[in-house]
Amino acid sequence: MVFESVRTDRGCVSYLIGCTRTSAAIVVDPELSQVDRYLAIAAQQGLRIRYLLDTHTHADHFSGVRPLARRTGALSVMHQLSPAPFVDLRVEDGETILVGELRLHVVHTPGHTRDSICLIAPGHLLTGDTLLLGATGRTDLPTGDAEALYESLFGRLLGLDGLLRVHPAHNYKNLPPTTLDEQKATNPRLKPRDPAAFVAMMRGLSLEMPEHLTEALRTNQTGGKTVAQIIDEAAQHIPFMTMQELRRRIESGAPGIAVLDVREADAYAAGHVPGAIHLPRGQLELRADAVFPDPTVRILAYCEFGKISTIAAATLRTMGFRGAIALDGGIRAWKEAGFPLEPTESTRPPSRS
Ligand SMILES: [Fe+2]
């Protein structure tokens, strides 16, 4: 059996488990930023990824299941209560997933979320966010339930073989894995107490809301794309120009490219790249033909930070403007570098704020 863990800087942990006899593999809780890494590990180990499993609906990071499924053809697996419409294989408590000759047993452990599951692999227990090393998952996010978590921990997990090694979906302090027995002896949340005391303890935790909570729930529940994914995909389809190159061209008096400011009117009026044409992103598709009657024209789009202009340039390319590119950076950095603006500081009307 191959058992590899991949940990991100933010403490998310995912696992690639492979059957060496058949070369089939599963990735548990893949994280969006690590998609190439799982593919690289599978290739290095001679494994073919067959299944992609989320132990629950993640609220604090972006699942890599959808992009990995597109690239591998693997099936996505979640508990039957998962709200995600794209799940191929919905599993329930007591069922077994066959990964080649490996058998992974599903234990439904609601509490952190309603759709949380743990997986028992030979010698290993993948606990998702139900049981962490020295802690448990929180129960104050959507579908969380402290009473259900009590039952999942004390009624289910602690009854399993104590020699199983515990592998959670988060390991913020990069602690080494321990056995279930060791967790039972040392994890303060597993101290024997009655359900009411456990619920009171969980409700008394005052935890900050995760960053990107709504974006993570939106993308993980629907299979939609993150904002960063949309920008990254646009960036893959266009070239860029550095600020230094654009400045050199402007100062030469013959830039050889139409400079397009896609910000809102007041931002444009407050100072723009000399000679820039104004066409806000919101009107781009509707007015592009009027502004650029020649589709072969070279166009350089820019915005405040360089993100919206990336999408704008990619949109122009899909419309047939094959010479559309974006500024590498935004006008914020342009200003900070002391590069020329129009109108100049002295001729600019006073700002409205
Ligand atoms: Fe979670």
Burial class (CB in 10 A: 0-12, 13-18, 19+), 31: buried
Give the separation between CA 86 and CA 63, rounded to whole angstroms: 13
189 CA from centroid of ligand 1 (Å):
17
CA–CA distance from 5 to each of 17, 117, 156 (Å)? 9, 18, 24
Q: Which helix (H) or strand (E) holds 186?
A: helix 180-186
* Centre of ligand 1 from the C-alpha of residue 227, in Å: 20
Instruction: Residue count of the chain, please give it.
Output: 353
Domains of the chain: 2-224 (3.60.15.10), 230-336 (3.40.250.10)
pTM above 0.95, yes or no: no
348 pLDDT band (50/70/90 cuts)? low
Using the mean position of ligand 1's atoms as its centre, give its distance from the Cα of residue 47 in Å. Answer: 27
- List the one residue out of 120, 113, 98, 39 whose CA is nearest residue 72: 39
Residue 69 has pLDDT above 70, yes or no: yes
The pair of three-digit structure tokens given for residue 311, joined into one six-digit string: 């999408």
In contact, 29 and 130? CB cutoff 8 Å: no
Q: Six-digit token pair at 188?
A: 């303060």
Report how far ligand 1's centroid is from the alpha carbon of 352 (Å): 45
Q: 42 CA to middle of ligand 1, Å?
A: 25
SS3 content of the chain, % helix, strand, coil (to 5): 35, 25, 45
Residue range 112-130, pLDDT digits in tens? 999 999 999 999 999 999 9
pLDDT in tens, 140-187: 999 999 999 999 999 999 999 999 999 999 999 999 989 999 999 999
Question: Alpha-carbon distance 57 to 143, whole Å?
Answer: 10
Separation of CA 256 and ligand 1 centre (Å): 51
